[in-house]
Homo-oligomer: A and B are copies of this chain.
Amino acid sequence: MATIYQVSELAGVSLATVSRVMNNNARVSENTRNKVLAAMEQLGYRPNSIAQSLASNRSNSVGILVSELHGPFYGEMLSGIENECRAAGKHVIIAAGHSEEASEKDGIEFLISRSCDALILHVEAVSDEYLIKLANGNMPIVLINRFIPQLADNCISLDNELGGYLATKQLLQQGHTQLAYMAGPMWKSDAKDRYHGHLRAMAEHGLSFNPALLAEGDFQDSSGSACMQQLLAKGLPFSALVCANDEMAAGAMEVARAHGLNVPQDLSIVGFDNLILARYIYPKLTTIDYPIGEMGRMAARWVLKNIYQQQALQLKNIFQPVLVCRDSASAIAAG
């Protein structure tokens, strides 16, 4: 691989000049610039990004921590981030945190040791305090799907409360009055917020929430099935079910079907996230759209603007979810 040395020699200029035309950050005469460009071309020169990083103290890489690399959710997010970063010539280094505190911290340490210029984090297990401390260090971070008041500017989040509200509201407007709620793990803020949204909608319609119709799962489809079993076992009537995410909704739907319940005739179900699978399950799932790809993109823009000085970019911190109507929820039967 050719080095800057050979380029400078071939072009008959100094190292510094070659560096200048590469970064075009200082005035170089048209003539010289062309000589250098020609030499680069001729040698097939590619700057060594490692050396650039060491010398400039910027690695041009952004670290990303997601809970999992597989699964329907994070792919969209990564895709959004990568697209935006790549277009700006930055690259992404990825680690998985597996929703466990130790693993998340470990991943963050790993990314830091890799000299990332900034971190985009989707973390769940780590505490607010830890993140605040991290943000006060000299590693810039942006948080996806998490809102911490002290770090408001660094958070790209969804109004989960509104989502829970909208999901519930839809069913209420369709005439349902007996609703069950299948929550995510309540230690996760998104699960909690969605639940609160549900409660608000219920209250708004003058309905009191029956705690017996609440089940708490872990966002996996298997727990959706398990929770549905529990709910049915109680023998309490309900004509609609709000699930805190699509996967649990899918699990619940399966159990409902096994119990001879038709969806949506006997039971309306609404999910949350609008994963790909929402379009594949039968009947197609009515759900709340989570624009995670767009949010990833926005997190990348945050970094481009705040770290790489692309001032022109517009930022947006809080996203509003919208309802996506499909086939799994319908008006309550007239009789």
* Chain A interface (Cβ < 8 Å from any Cβ of B): 46-51, 53-54, 59, 61, 68-72, 74-76, 78-79, 82-83, 86, 91-96, 109-110, 112-115, 221, 250, 257, 276-277, 280-282, 293
> Measured between alpha carbons, how far is A54 from B112 in the docked complex, in Å?
18
10 contacts between A and B (CB under 8 A): A48-B54, A50-B59, A61-B93, A70-B78, A70-B293, A94-B94, A257-B282, A276-B277, A280-B280, A282-B282
- Shortest CB distance A68–B (Å): 7
Given contacts A50-B115, A86-B95, A115-B50, contact A69 B78 (CB under 8 A): yes
Among A47, A61, A94, residue most surrounded by chain B Cβ atoms (within 10 Å): A94
> By the criterion CB–CB under 8 Å, are A95 and B82 in contact?
yes
> Measured between alpha carbons, how far is A70 from B75 in the docked complex, in Å?
4
> By the criterion CB–CB under 8 Å, are B72 and A113 in contact?
no
> By the criterion CB–CB under 8 Å, are B82 and A115 in contact?
no
> By the criterion CB–CB under 8 Å, are B79 and A69 in contact?
yes
- Measured CB to CB, the nearest residue on chain B to A285 is B280
> Measured between alpha carbons, how far is A96 from B293 in the docked complex, in Å?
15
Q: B residues within 8 A CB of A282?
A: 257, 281-282
